Amino acid sequence: MTNFSISALLVATTVTLLSVGLEAHAPARLERRDAMENGFLHRRALSAFERNQAALRDSIVRLATAQLGAPYVLGGTTPKRGFDCSGLVRFVYTHVNIAPPRTAQQQARLGAAVRRELLRPGDLLTFGDRDSVTHIGIYIGDGRFVHASSVAGRVIVSRVDRRPAKDITPLAGARRVLTVADAHEGSGG
């Protein structure tokens, strides 16, 4: 792994395991306010969990941006051989111990829908229409996302608000994979 520390991987592993443990014991729609009122989590534990989630989001952004310039290859899943859009998502998320399915259409069903104004780094952006997702990327903040572009022929950063064109499909929605509970702040596609 280039430009990525073992300690960041350990933090990501710990956060992922904590997240899985919480999902097993938490109500289906655990929201921050409910967690505190019901005593499910102590305020300090919730704060630590939020810090770890931020570290995991940072790791995803670093991993994704480290792939900039890698070639676009249909069916590609590695930096050496190149990526297609879903191969890039799978590569990045697998390196933080989250194993998404292979295709953009399947990945577009991960996590929970999140409204555009609530996007956080690490969220997935889906493109096409709601019935047929044809492209996917990773939001990195500041209105930008990383994706393997067949048009550019490589992994690039683009603006979320880019204009659709003949070869550029419109934004269909966003998905929050890391903590499903905080995506319920708002729903959307």
CA distance 54 to 172: 25
133 C-beta neighbours (distance < 10 Å), count: 24
Residues forming a β-bridge with 173: 126
Alpha helices in 26-137 (DSSP H): 32-37, 43-65, 85-94, 104-107
Q: Residue 175 in 3-state DSSP? A: strand
Coil, helix or strand at residue 188: coil
Annotated catalytic residue within 25, 42, 95, 147: 147
Q: Is 184 a catalytic residue?
A: no
SS3 59: helix
85 is annotated as an active-site residue: yes
Contact 114, 183 (CB under 8 A): yes
Q: How far apart are CA 183 and CA 156, in angstroms?
A: 26
Task: Out of 25, 42, 95, 135, pick the active-site residue.
Answer: 135
Our answer to whether residue 147 is catalytic in this structure is: yes
Specify the 3-state DSSP secondary structure of 44: helix
Give the catalytic positions in this structure. 85, 135, 147
